[in-house]
Amino acid sequence: MTLIIDCHGHYTTAPSAHDAWRTQQTAAYHEGKAPPVYPGIADDLIRESVETNQLKLLKERGADMTIFSPRASRMAPHIGDQTVSRDWSQKCNDLIRRVVEMYPEIFIGVCQLPQSPKADLQASIDELERCVNEMDFVGCNLNPDPSGGDFSLPPLTDKYWYPFFEKMCELDVPAMVHVSGSCNKAMHATGAYYLAADTIAFMQFLEGDLFKDFPTLRFIIPHGGGAVPYHWGRYRGLADMLKKPPLDSHVMKNVYFDTCVYHQPGIDLLFEVIENKNILFGSEMVGAVRGIDPQTGQYFDDTKRYVDALNLSEADRHDIYEGNARRVFPKLDSQLKRRGL
């Protein structure tokens, strides 16, 4: 039996008290005051928030579990300073931990990182260690642009990032490359900024030689890889012009795409262009696009329908839904094996 593992889920329905504290925290920062005490959030509020949303939809759509992280658009590392980002990230990750402890067979934790545009990555290293070693999280969301749209940090291939990558390799966990909310008025967050950042990250990997230094480093570029599959010929040609090896050996031993593409032709193209071994099933529900497609009568983000409609062998279908996730997230694989799965 194949497990249906959704590699891309966010806690977009967290209890209102959690988001209210964030508003108070940022207001206190701007006023030069200490943040308020974080509120007590009852277990029943957490249960209601997921049982009427993610858990309900997972069951309805036929998925078994989801790799679950804090709400991406609310990470907002451009707000405040390193201390503000650290405190917010810890509160978000602690809330994910509570969800995982309540539903250990359904939710698998992935952490938010306390990045900040003017800070180094030591706080992120510390939080990754805490979440992996103390809370059994299996990965992290790494923001390539904590400025919120200015792209003020060096590319992901720069040595600025190396201490964090060393810790990822030591812990044997992957990162999903995921930006947060946009503070650039020219870039809509989920319609432009997310997809642009995905595409930019891939080009950074292509231009650099990161995986020579970190051959076991693993990244998931979400949202179907941004514009990359649609322009695969462009990137193959750029690799040739830049005197880089072919993409399959230069980048694609370490980089994976998910299936958060919200129409059948897009999924068809993804699978036609990208090798199955580099694709993980994901939906990002409840997320960026929550409505029903009037052309199909189904939810846009019900991506399992699109994958089910593909002409795949049973072996390939198993890899997309389960095998690739277990390979990219070895700590998830270990957890499942301990459960006899």
CB neighbours of 11 closer than 8 A, spacing ≥ 6?
Answer: 49, 50, 54, 68, 69, 70, 71, 92, 95, 96, 99
256 φ, ψ to 5°? -135, 155
35 φ, ψ to 5°? -70, 155
Q: Which of 129, 284, 314, 322 is catalytic?
A: 284
Establish whether 284 is a catalytic residue.
yes
User: Alpha-carbon Rg of the chain, whole angstroms?
Assistant: 19
Q: Determine the 3-state secondary structure of 238 from DSSP.
A: helix
* Cα gap 269→256, rounded to integer Å: 15
Side chain identity at 92, as an amino acid letter? C
Side chain identity at 116, as an amino acid letter? S
Residues 255, 300: contact at Cβ < 8 Å? Answer: no
* Cα gap 70→85, rounded to integer Å: 13
What is the DSSP pairing of strand 175-177 with strand 219-221?
parallel
Label residue 45 exposed, middle or buried (CB < 10 Å: 0-12, 13-18, 19+).
middle
Give the residue numbers annotated as catalytic, written as ranges. Answer: 284
